[in-house]
Amino acid sequence: MKDKKLKSNAVTSGNKAAPARSLFRALGLTEEEMQRPLIGVVSSFNEIIPGHMNLDKITDAVKAGVRMAGGTPIEVPAIAVCDGIAMGHTGMKYSLVTRDLIADSTEALAIAHAFDGLVMIPNCDKNVPGLLMAAARVNIPTIVISGGPMLAGHVEGRKTSLSTMFEAVGAYEAGNMDEETFRDYECGTCPTCGSCSGMYTANSMNCLTEVLGMGLRGNGTVPAVYSERLRLAKLAGMQIMELVEKDIKPRDIMTEDAFINALTMDMALGCSTNSMLHLPAIAHECGVELNTEVANEISAKTPNLCHLAPAGRTYMEDLNEAGGIYAVMKEIDKLGLLNTDLMTVTGKTIAENIKDAKNLDTEIIRPVENPFSETGGIAVLRGSLAPNTAVVKQSAVAPSMMDFTGPAKVFDSEEEAQAAIDNGEIVSGDVVVIRYVGPKGGPGMPEMLNPTSAIMGRGLGEEVALITDGRFSGATRGACVGHVCPEAAAGGPIGLVENGDKIHIDIPNHKIDLLVDEDVLEERRKNKKEKAPNIDHGYLKRYAKLVSDSSRGAVLE
């Protein structure tokens, strides 16, 4: 007989559930299957994203695991957008906004059909946090199993990843790369299915899912093409049944301490700046208000142990071979910086999970005694240009750019900035400012990977800074400061910057200032004309009206 506490009793038990049971029979379910816990298997499979093209196989493996452990798996969909394909055109405005579509639709599917548990199968940038947000809202036993990272490409005798492809465009456009080599990059950079092979946003969030306790060991690092990934998926399908039996729910796991652990490991791993949007948003759904400014306090005591692409020339496959996320956690735990008493989807605590982890390559995972830097990978800046906050991936900034002052060259769109870079108008010493691309102004806070890659490709990465109220891809490197808040569309000072204004970026001291007298800014404020929205129809119009600022995770209110 079925456990009386199961949510699915509402649709499978008693006379009043007979209409629902008749529909389950139409699906081909047997009486025995209806008497077992119903597990929603939320698959993000599609044929447009390389990171998702293998998720049908992952899904089948999960369903096999659920059945082996005595449950009834029912596959349901989740959407996803490929940031790499959406990059550089209007499509990028529709990337971040899908995080909330994913969370909303998954919440609706799970509750409407009275599932007893959920297995989330994401892989790329927005659908990892979107599904975690849904898990927190629905708050029934849930486990996450990603599709796994892509293997690195091989071009000219060295490993490559998507960031090198984007930078190759800039090099080719500047005449620094011949056509044959450019073609080699295009054909050799992305060799397999999986989430792009560096510590970009998708891999950052999949790794942090392990840290949060919502994924099994290897969720973030086992390559997509390894058979080990299928075995891991089967284990996830089996493990959800233990979570249902013990009634271990997402909010039991994703506590405030778990998010502090995630921020700590974010610093150690050198994750994407997008984690500063997604962690607060997931925390918000858990009833935890995560102030991103605590990141500086955490960074000050957390060494950066990994330099994966784009910060360095190692890749997710290398991190996996070196021992994976648990090995990095065990290194950081030597300093007592993690709360290891927390419960995870393994049914064990973090301390139990990482007990036997080993660092197998001290060049990939530096020991805490020999870190890449004494401080973490991300810094939160404040100052007259960003009175609330701004974010920079300091582990990917050249030492010469850590304290930098230069004249502004201002653009009200990514397209204008890109054209100026392509035309050679950006020169050594400039500070490129791209505004009206924030959560409201974009709308949708598009990523600025094309401009940053073009700057790198032209050899200006150690001579030019870029500041925006938009955001950056995890593939971005260099002195790139994003998430400037308040954004221009919300009346922030970034909207008052004019060409030639001096801007000072001081990453070690967490400062970013517009070096213009306040009385001059006040006069500009009085004479400023309101800018018309970039898109004023459809979903983006509604999104722009509801979205909060980036310092709060760009959550909808």
Is residue 473 annotated as a catalytic residue, yes or no?
Answer: yes
Could you please report the per-residue DSSP string of 464-515?
Answer: -EEEESSB--TT--SSEEEEEES-GGGT-GGGG--TT-EEEEETTTTEEEE-
SS3 call for 351: helix
Q: Distance of CA 462 to CAs 378, 429, 457, 459, Å?
A: 18, 9, 11, 8
**How many beta carbons lie within 10 A of that of residue 179, not counting itself?**
8
Q: Which of 220, 259, 240, 263 is nearest to 39 (CA)?
A: 240
Report the interhelical angle of 275-285 vs 256-269 (nearest 10°): 170
Residue type, 60: D
Two structure tokens written together for 15: 């006379």
**How many beta carbons lie within 10 A of that of residue 527, not counting itself?**
7
Strand order in the sheet with 480-485: 379-381, 389-392, 480-485, 465-468, 431-434, 403-411, 502-506, 511-514
Choice among 8, 195, 395, 473 that is catalytic: 473
Q: Is residue 118 within 8 Å of 141, Cβ to Cβ?
A: yes
C-alpha gyration radius of the chain: 23
**Parallel/antiparallel/unpaired status of strands 158-160 and 153-155:** antiparallel
Q: Which of 387, 472, 391, 467 is nearest to 433 (CA)?
A: 467
- Omega of the bond prior to 367 within 30 degrees of 0, cis? no
**Parallel/antiparallel/unpaired status of strands 379-381 and 465-468:** unpaired
Q: Distance of CA 60 to CAs 140, 218, 242, 254, Å?
A: 22, 19, 19, 27
Active site (catalytic) residues: 473
